[in-house]
A and B are shown apart, each in its own frame.
Chain A
Amino acid sequence: MARQSASKPKAVAISPAHPDKAALLDFCRSMLLIRRFEERAGQLYGMGLIGGFCHLYIGQEAIAVGMQAAKGDGDQVITGYREHGHMLAAGMDPKGVMAELTGRAAGVSRGKGGSMHMFSTAAGFYGGHGIVGAQVSLGTGLALANRYRDDGKVAFVYFGDGAANQGQVYESFNMAELWSLPVVYVIENNQYAMGTSVERSSSETHLHKRGISFNIPGAEVDGMDVVAVREAGKMAAEHARSGKGPFILEMKTYRYRGHSMSDPGKYRTREEIDAVRKTRDPIEHLQERLETLDFADEAQIKAIDAEVKAIVADAAEFARTTPEPNPAELYTDVYLETVP
């Protein structure tokens, strides 16, 4: 397994199971939903309806969507602050997510979390964490609970190339392998930690190799290819679920937008971004595949897009008009009542 660490993108030794039509159409819909949602969130931010930090997922959609298809019932997901896409992929209501972005009572965190802090126990989504790398220890703890209960669940722990340099990531790797915890680490390598490129911040830039000194196998995956993501995810989940311990997937991806809305974008060229958009866009890549396989024509794809845009427009309208939290909510949810 560990030998996969040496392979190149798109040359990963993952058998491309022939995807069925329904699954690919569903991927297309989910990825479009995320992209349109994020585009609208960017607009609302510009209009002053969303405050604080707001990190968009545009460009990385194939990862959340492909990995969702590799998840089993009851498996958990945890990630950092670029989590809108993960929540939509997990089936959470776009209205609740958008209303949280605008700080409304109907938001998934009742308006108290904001862009970076959203959760849904019903969807098995454990956040939404604002401290870079913290989700890696927390997610390994979810896996510890799975092992403690021996319930067959796997924790999917997402983090970026920036978090990959945090010390607690390696403390967690060590314990995860030591105790054979059922966890899949998904590194979303979008090439830039805020404005610092991987090359400028990492002595080992092949992040799937970061588990080698802990005996954790890793693989590099084309994170712009939703099918490759799904297949890698299934393989890693099977590894973790079967008791072999953690697995690291490095997803090579790219974010089109700034780190957050306040990113001046001085660290990379417009040409670089345009080149990725033109040649590697995950949604266009999937749409071409749908057309080549004759699963959908251009008109059908446009219909999906229109359906998705309507959902997003509804969510935005809801988020704009639904009320802010009652002032009494200021003091709720600080403590749970003690049950004797």
Chain B
Amino acid sequence: MVIKVGDTVKSGDVIAEIETDKATMEVEAVDEGVVEALLVAEGAEGVAVNAPIARLSGGGTASTPQSPVSGPATIAPQMGEPENGIAPLSPGGGGPAPANAVMKGASQGADAELPAGTEMIKTTVRDALRDAMAEEMRRDADVFLMGEEVAQYQGAYKVSRDLLAEFGERRVIDTPITEHGFAGLGVGAAMAGLKPIVEFMTFNFAMQAIDHIINSAAKTLYMSGGQIRSSIVFRGPNGAASRVGAQHSQDYAAWYASVPGLKVVAPYDAADAKGLLKSAIRDPNPVVFLEHEMVYGTEFDVPDVADWLVPIGKAKVRRVGLHVTLVAYSRMVGFALQAADALAVEGIETEVVDLRTLRPLDHDTVVRSVMKTNRLVTIEEGWGPMGVGAEIAARVVDQAFDYLDAPPVRVCQEDVPLPYAANLEVLSLPSVAKIVAAAKAVCYR
């Protein structure tokens, strides 16, 4: 709180500073007057959007802005601040699922590989990713991080928080805004034997760099007869954020997962985010690691073990059921688990398969599940045509045709660029309701 009782405030004066898990921003007064009372104490946490924080004489009440969207310069360059990505404030919009802010993520289905009695630590996906990078950088001096705002700014989404302090500017490198160039530098450094982690502020910007991801990183091992390797991780948020429009909201899973030579990982919860990122950094191949901005702030259990690794290429059955198989990855796993809860109320027992890795794809786990449930719904945030769901449906038809009791159904983004208007955005994206409807349809209910 910058003001105190008795201060005269003019519009435009800074009256408070608010900090979220992602950003720190100032709140300016809109009205003029004298501060009569402070309604929120200095240093208060968890202040809700729209909660009054002070009262001015003359009738105006200063409140936290409903949508603290600010110019690109103050928060994250090149992007608006998604209102419901801000942790201590309640999620702002009528999205289908509040899979944001600090909420406890549903993480059902225990990992078989975990010994009984393993302690769990509540960790956000954001911190799990950070911990994974820090652990691998401690373990291997050849691992380093480069990207826009990863060092001094602490990461556009705070994923690289504190890494600069621990590892220094030689290993945590702020790049200019130059995706094509720095992706190429990263691949070149990998060809020379280092193990770069290249962060894209979002995968939307990686389209500038996709030539190096595919032509340079993915193909050179083959073209060189096995001589030139690229042990490199390309990581960053992928998929739709919130209200940032079509150019900042795209799921690239199907694009990268169609390319031999790449591995493609898209975790949902914090344990997988940590364990898979550590595996990706150690992998001798180029790995595209797709994160999700809307899940960064979500807390999950992460096993408290010394070196938590999750193998690339293994799907995870997160909920066991008999009647229908839901296949999802990344944020859509959370939607699928919520849909499963809703379907259970109606007597439909759902099996939820979290793909976790999209290349190599764990077809066996999917096919085994469909052989049991005889029904398949795929869920992806990307467009349907030529998509992940199309690939899975083709494989299931190929390997389990006689087991299917209904044609597979794909839940995906509508076949349009993602709109900005709140209502249209909701209509465009997959939702729990759409998944429930699809599951019922394949069950003929």
Contacts and interface: CB of A to CB of B under 8 A. Distances in A.
Interface of A: 76, 78, 107-113, 117-121, 126-131, 134, 136-146, 148, 167-168, 171-172, 174-175, 178, 332-340
23 contacts: A118-B224, A119-B225, A119-B227, A127-B224, A128-B224, A129-B216, A131-B216, A137-B180, A137-B185, A138-B188, A140-B181, A140-B185, A142-B188, A148-B194, A167-B180, A168-B181, A172-B185, A175-B176, A175-B182, A332-B226, A335-B221, A335-B285, A336-B229
B226 A333 contact: yes
B221 A127 contact: no
A171 B181 contact: yes
A273 B28 CA distance: 70
B185 A134 contact: no
A112 B191 contact: no
Nearest to A139: B188
Given A118-B224, A175-B178, A338-B283, 15 more contacts: A76-B192, A110-B226, A119-B227, A137-B181, A137-B184, A138-B184, A141-B185, A141-B192, A148-B144, A148-B194, A168-B184, A333-B221, A334-B261, A338-B279, A339-B284
Q: Which of B187, B211, B216, B261 has the most CB of A within 10 A?
A: B216
A109 B211 contact: no
Nearest to A145: B192
A127 B184 contact: no
B189 interface: yes
Given A137-B184, A141-B184, A107 B190 contact: no
Contacts of A113: 223-225
Contacts of A108: 225
B178 A174 contact: yes
A117 B223 contact: yes
A226 B161 CA distance: 52
B193 interface: yes
A127 B220 contact: yes
Nearest to A148: B194
A118 B225 CA distance: 9
Interface string B199-241: 0000000000001100110001111111111000000000000
Contacts of A128: 223-224
A333 B227 CA distance: 9
A126 B282 CA distance: 23
B228 A126 contact: yes
Contacts of B175: 175
Given A119-B227, A171-B180, A334-B260, A130 B215 contact: yes
B211 A334 contact: no
A175 B173 CA distance: 11
B170 interface: yes
A175 B188 CA distance: 13
Nearest to B177: A171
Contacts of B358: none
B186 interface: yes
A119 B221 CA distance: 10
B182 A171 contact: yes
A171 B175 CA distance: 10
A109 B192 contact: no
B224 A119 contact: yes
Nearest to A118: B224
A113 B175 CA distance: 32
Q: Which of A108, A126, A139 has the most CB of B within 10 A?
A: A126
B191 A141 contact: yes
Nearest to B182: A175
Contact of A171 (B170, B178, B194, B228): B178
Q: Which of B181, B222, B229 has the most CB of A within 10 A?
A: B181
Contacts of B125: none
Contacts of A167: 180
A121 B227 contact: yes
Contact of B224 (A117, A142, A143): A117
Contact of A126 (B185, B191, B221, B284): B191
Given A171-B180, A175-B175, A338-B312, A120 B284 contact: no
Closest 9 CB pairs of A and B: A141-B188, A137-B184, A171-B181, A110-B225, A145-B192, A138-B188, A141-B185, A117-B223, A119-B224
Q: Which of B170, B183, B220, B283 has the most CB of A within 10 A?
A: B220
Contacts of B224: 109, 112-113, 117-119, 127-128, 333
A134 B218 CA distance: 14
A137 B183 contact: yes
A336 to B, nearest CB: 4
Contacts of B185: 137-138, 140-141, 144, 172, 175
Contacts of B211: 131, 134
Contacts of B223: 109, 112-113, 117, 119, 127-128
Nearest to B312: A338
Contacts of A76: 192
Contacts of B189: 141-142, 144-145, 148
A340 B310 CA distance: 11
Contacts of B222: 112, 333-334
